[in-house]
Amino acid sequence: MTSKVSYTGNLRTEAIHLKSGSKIETDAPVDNEGKGERFSPTDLVATALGSCMITIMGIVANRHDWNIEGTSCEIEKVMASQPRRIAAINVEVFFPETAPTRSKDRKTLEHAALTCPVFESLHPNTDKNILFHWATPDEVESNGTLQASL
């Protein structure tokens, strides 16, 4: 088993990660009869996408000895009704100046993000809009030297 989730009343749950004991509390959102005082279950799904993308990029970065520490993302979840579901997840990823500068390396990291397990697990009808923001201009290899691209 991975986790145990209990209903604690007032449209709230507590999830416990069984291996670590780490806890997450959820609350129904204001637009669905809750107080919105904690992550909602659908907030966790959207947030899991960003977390998974960065984790997988971290794995790839470690393999290549690239420093992406400080990479962050901002996530917006867009809900639909009839049926109530996540219609879209908008993610903006921000890389620090220490991230790779070569276009090829950046494409490798972006591909890793766009093939993370959560991205691949979301329903095809859920729009996933991802923007990557690099802190420095990218460089492309030309005749064995690096040049800044415009």
Residues 51-81 pLDDT 10s:
999 999 999 999 999 999 999 999 999 999 9
**Is the per-residue pLDDT at 140 higher than 80?**
no
pLDDT band for position 142 (cuts 50, 70, 90): low
For 131, the domain range is 40-148
Q: What is the dihedral of CA 121, 124, 129, 131, to 10 degrees?
A: 50
Indicate if 93 and 33 belong to the same structural domain: no
Provide the CATH number for the domain around residue 81. 3.30.300.20
**Is the per-residue pLDDT at 141 higher than 70?**
no
Q: Is 63 exposed, middle or buried (0-12, 13-18, 19+ CB in 10 A)?
A: exposed
Identity of the residue numbered 25: E
Q: Is 93 exposed, middle or buried (0-12, 13-18, 19+ CB in 10 A)?
A: buried
Indicate if 5 and 58 belong to the same structural domain: no
Mean pLDDT of the chain: 93
Return all residues near 23 (Cβ < 8 A) that are at least 6 apart. Answer: 14, 15, 16, 17
Residues 32-55 pLDDT 10s:
999 999 999 999 999 999 999 999
- pTM, two decimals, is 0.90
Indicate if 47 and 33 belong to the same structural domain: no
